[in-house]
Amino acid sequence: MAKRIVFGILMSLMLSSLMTFWVTWVNLGFGVNFLHSWGKSFMLAWPVAALLSITFAPLVHSFTSSLFDNKH
């Protein structure tokens, strides 16, 4: 259980930081307020991403396994 939670937190950290960086850059460019805007977006996105990752990871893992385990 602890391993799943740590994985969800780390995966969501990586994905939310990269995705919010990308979307902020695409929408605003590297202006004076870029770091502030990116930081605000990241702080809003990461908790939600962590919760969703921890909640849905077992379901996605089971679905992925079913895609590959039933092949003969």
Show the DSSP H helices in 1-72 as ranges: 2-28, 34-69
In the block, residue with structure tokens 């602890």? 2
Residue recorded with tokens 């969800």? 8
Q: What is the pLDDT of residue 1?
A: 83
What pLDDT is attached to residue 71?
63
Q: Note the pLDDT of residue 22.
A: 97
d(CA 54, CA 22): 23
pLDDT for the residue numbered 72: 55
14, exposed or middle or buried, with CB in 10 Å at 0-12, 13-18, 19+?
A: exposed
Residue with tokens 């740590």: 6
pTM given for the model: 0.80
* Alpha carbon distance 40, 35 (integer Å): 8
Mean pLDDT by 10 residues, the chain (72 residues): 91 96 96 96 96 93 88 59
